[in-house]
Amino acid sequence: MFDTLKDILVKKLKVTPGQVTPDASREDIELDSLAVVELSMVLEQELGIVISDNELIDVPTVGDIARLMEERSAKI
């Protein structure tokens, strides 16, 4: 799931590939508040995974977002 998330961050949100590591924070990958909403929308549209932007903002790292995606996709 981390690779799927990385692919979305790089291709859809224009994050530099080298910055996307499991330990990177939202600030490290320069994901501002509107980009968090965009990520939430892309996850739902492309993968059917529903994670609100409020939830994404509270998640500390990229690795944690990937884990949350796994949890949510397991429920689908």
Binding test (CB under 8 A) with another protein, winner from 7, 41, 46, 71: 41
Give the 3-state secondary structure of residue 26. coil
C-alpha dist (Å) from residue 55 to 16, 17, 18, 58, 65: 23, 23, 25, 5, 9
Does residue 38 bind another protein (CB under 8 A)?
yes
Does residue 55 bind another protein (CB under 8 A)?
no
Residue among 34 and 76 whose Cβ is closer to another protein: 34
Instruction: Name the residues that contact another protein, by CB under 8 A.
Output: 12, 32-34, 36-38, 40-41, 53
